[in-house]
Chains A and B, each alone.
Chain A
Amino acid sequence: MKRFALALFGTVGGLLALLGFKTHSPTSSGPLPDQGLAPTGMPTSTSRTDSGGTTTPSRSRSATHRATPPTVTTRHITGQAVTTRYGVVQVKVTVRGSKITDVGFVQLTAFDAQSQQINSYAAPQLLQETLATQSANIDTVSGATYTSDGYRQSLQSALDKAALR
């Protein structure tokens, strides 16, 4: 699983470098493996690639491991390239047995200002951070996600009620 993650890491990192996306982690900019989600060296699995897409009607399938009868099948399924309001994306999932075990993407081109904005992280206009623990003047509260029930007991709920009154 670790090796798997590393394979994904290298590939997506390479893709990102290729596409000029900003990343903030110590990502490797290693060579771009061929469709690198493929977990190599899993002797009991077969690997198959399905390609679905409007632009490429051809379906390619390659069975890489045939040594032993497969117990669990790992498949890589590539989605259609879809145009979203942020750009063109094409998602690729790894399915082991009948479960999706990983998600990657094979194509992502940002084409508008909004995407540029999403990919560039400017400093927030933070005026100050205070040690204030008074709730008298606060506008809103950030905390771990509350359930609808939890909300009723939250400070945010009190603020909303006060404003709605």
Chain B
Amino acid sequence: MRAPTATPIRHVEQCMGTVFSFDIRGSGIAWDDLRAVLDWLHETDARFSTYRSGSEINRLADGRLDLTEVHPDVAYVLSECAELQVETGGYFSACADGRLDPSGYVKGWAVNEASRMLAAAGSTAHCVNGGGDISCHGRPSVGRGWQVGIADPVHPGVIVRTVVGAGPLGIATSGTSQRGAHIIDPHTGTRQEALASVTVVTDDVVRADVLATAAVAMGEDGIVWLAGLTDVRSIVVRGDGSVSAAWRGQEPT
């Protein structure tokens, strides 16, 4: 006997050092479905955290865990990081500052998985926002798209653009505003600060997150690089506050 559905659901969960916001509008989701997603998020945090010495990632990095013993998710994430390192010409790396740290991949992936799990459980419309990385599914209401504000990296509480779209929609922003300059050019080991924030809009938040992180690592060159990628919309705020937006591919309808 299936528990009755409880939508709409609005829920906020602290995990991975940030906050995940769940906005479930459609039908078909019970609290138990959401609880399963939250459990998975916390398990994933325990497995991948670079802040917990007992996590699989830290044990792997320190040689306390053999690669043959890792959880399948860890193997999957590391192989994906390797593939994305190629796509980004090395600007995205799970070893950007010399130690194994796939965090740049994990949060976007966790948002995407959470969204996918909800859809698999029967959700028809939801938005998962994990610390500013977003995956939207369906539409919030008939004839309406999700309205996503892009935060001003310099002025808290202000937005610089609004993106409106229906799922599948993946949006991620990387930058220096919230945690200080924390994105490193893996080729030189230097911190990049030319771009205050880079937002990438595509259909997959994992890819959006990685592309945004790589673009920040490239500095000014990242703007041109993103503009050359098909079906990727980018919104870049430079250190001086100027905004550029780019889109190549089929114009959105």
- Contacts from A to B (Cβ < 8 Å): 2, 5, 8-9, 12-13, 16, 21, 23-27, 52-53, 77-80, 82-86, 89-91, 93, 95, 98-105, 108, 114, 118, 121-135, 137-148, 150-151, 153-160, 163-164
Q: A124 and B168: CB pair below 8 A?
A: yes
The answer on a CB contact under 8 Å between A139 and B252 is: no
Chain B residues within 8 Å of chain A by Cβ, number: 98
Which residues from A are CB-within-8-Å of B115?
none
B140 and chain A: residue at smallest CB distance: A139
* Residues of B close to A12: CB separation below 8 A: 82-83, 85-86
Q: Give the residue of A16, A123, A128, A156 whose beta carbon is less than 8 angstroms from that of B129.
A: A156
Instruction: Decide: A105 near B79, CB < 8 A? Known: A25-B86, A126-B252, A141-B132.
Output: yes
B12-A164 in contact (CB<8A): yes
Contact between A9 and B90 (Cβ–Cβ < 8 Å)?
A: yes
In the bound complex, CA of A24 to CA of B94 (Å): 19
Q: A89-B76, A123-B249 are in contact. Are A151 and B19 (CB under 8 A)?
A: yes
B236 within 8 A of A: no
Chain A neighbourhood of B19, CB < 8 A = 146, 148, 151, 156-157
Q: Nearest residue in A to B198 (C-beta to C-beta)? A: A144
Interchain CA distance A125-B146 in the complex, whole Å: 11
In the assembly, what is the distance between CA of A27 and CA of B134, in Å? 28
Main secondary structure of the interface of B (DSSP, over half): mixed
Do B207 and A52 have beta carbons less than 8 Å apart? no
Q: Is B29 interfacial (CB-CB < 8 Å)?
A: no
B123 at the interface (CB under 8 A from A): no
- A129–B79 contact, CB under 8 A? no
Closest chain A residue to B94, Cβ basis: A103
Name 28 interchain pairs, CB-CB below 8 A, sorted by A: A9-B86, A9-B90, A24-B87, A79-B70, A82-B72, A98-B62, A103-B81, A114-B116, A121-B231, A125-B165, A128-B252, A129-B163, A130-B161, A130-B162, A133-B158, A140-B21, A141-B129, A142-B129, A142-B151, A143-B177, A144-B174, A144-B175, A144-B178, A145-B107, A145-B179, A147-B18, A150-B178, A153-B157
**A155 and B161 form a contact (CB under 8 A):** no
| Pairwise interchain contact A100-B79, C-beta atoms closer than 8 A | no
Residue picked from B83, B133, B186, most chain A C-beta under 10 Å: B83
